[in-house]
Structure 1
Amino acid sequence: MTIYAMPGHLIRRLNQISVALFMDRMAQADIKLTPVQFATLTTIRLNPGLDQASLAGLIAYDRATLGKVIDRLAARGLVCRTISVHDRRARCLQLTNAGNELLDAARPLVEAVQPEMLSGLSPTEQEQLIALLKKTTDAGNALSRAPLAAATQDQLKSDQYSRG
């Protein structure tokens, strides 16, 4: 089997293509935002007051790296952190007005580029691939260094996050 038929290689390549398309659309609109920052802002909007550890579980990102992402977003005035009333060690996150405005500007662009990421497939094939990617990701979730939180999986089944 060549690397060109290996799932890991193909998934890595599709991720490269996805990130390149995302970054291109953001650059065209003069929006400074990465895919992880977009996921972070979107999830904070859906869960105002969320702590950083819970956010990491919701977007399946390791806590240490996500802390740096939050630092950059806060330095840009897009996110504010407050001390949790329940746990003084935890920081609760909120979008600022600037964060909401940036997300409002980016969201239509992100939604519009999604079909382009799968442009070599028919609409039916795109739906099938998405379903298979979800199934495979769910099955392998526990193997990840930053698994998606179990509660998030339940929320995703209710489709809350795709509507956000």
Structure 2
Amino acid sequence: MGGDTDIGMMAGHVIRRLHQHSVQVFAAHARAAGVDLTPVQFAALDAVRAAPGLDQASIAAAIAYDRATIGGVIDRLQAKGLLSRRVSATDRRARVIQLTPEGEALLQRFRPVVEGAQDEILGALDGEERQAFLALARRALGQGGDDASGAG
């Protein structure tokens, strides 16, 4: 059975390990800042900040997250008092989501912390290597431009 394949040379394994590292760094920085957010929750808040009045499906699309489970993320953020939902003025069946003043204040305070964590996530790479890595990762995802959802 099998050959001498080095798992460390398999893209899926390396990507999973980098994701684990990214989540650990995010969590450590969040804890140090006294913030109770996951990377996905942060990305959702940031998406709402960038485009107030989105519905859940649009938030899921904006952060490349599963539509079936974004509702739980929004529920938790609403329970924390960071988001509010209201009936859409144009579609009574839809709920639009907005940051609360508390959510806005948290993002203002926490966004620089998350931006600072990026240096630690790719800490072994110099600036040029980071840019090349991010460009190649976006290309592997089929994205030519910047991906604003990468939060952590």
- What TM-score comes out, normalization by structure 1 length? 0.83
Unaligned runs of 5+ in 1: 140-152
Aligned residue number for residue 97 of structure 1: 101
Tell me which of 22, 26, 35 is aligned to 1:22: 26
2:53 aligned to which of 49, 56, 59: 49
- The answer as to 2:43 corresponding to 1:39 is yes
Match of 2:122 in 1: 118
Q: What is the match of residue 90 of structure 2?
A: 86
Cα RMSD, aligned residues only: 1.7
Distance 1:122 1:78 in 2: 35
Corresponding residue for residue 15 of structure 2: 11
Could you say which residue in structure 1 is the equivalent of 2:139? Answer: 135
Bigger helix share: 1
Give deviations 1:8-27, integer Å, cap 9, x for gaps. 00000000000000000000
Q: In the aligned structure 2, how far is the partner of 1:53 from the partner of 1:87? A: 14
Q: 1:160 to 1:121 in 2, by over 3 A?
A: closer
Among 66, 71, 84, the alignment partner of 2:70 is 66
Contact 2:138-2:147 at 8 Å conserved across structures: no
Q: Does 1:77 align with 2:111?
A: no
Distance 1:31 1:113 in 2: 14
Identical residues among aligned pairs (%) = 50
TM-score by length of 2: 0.90
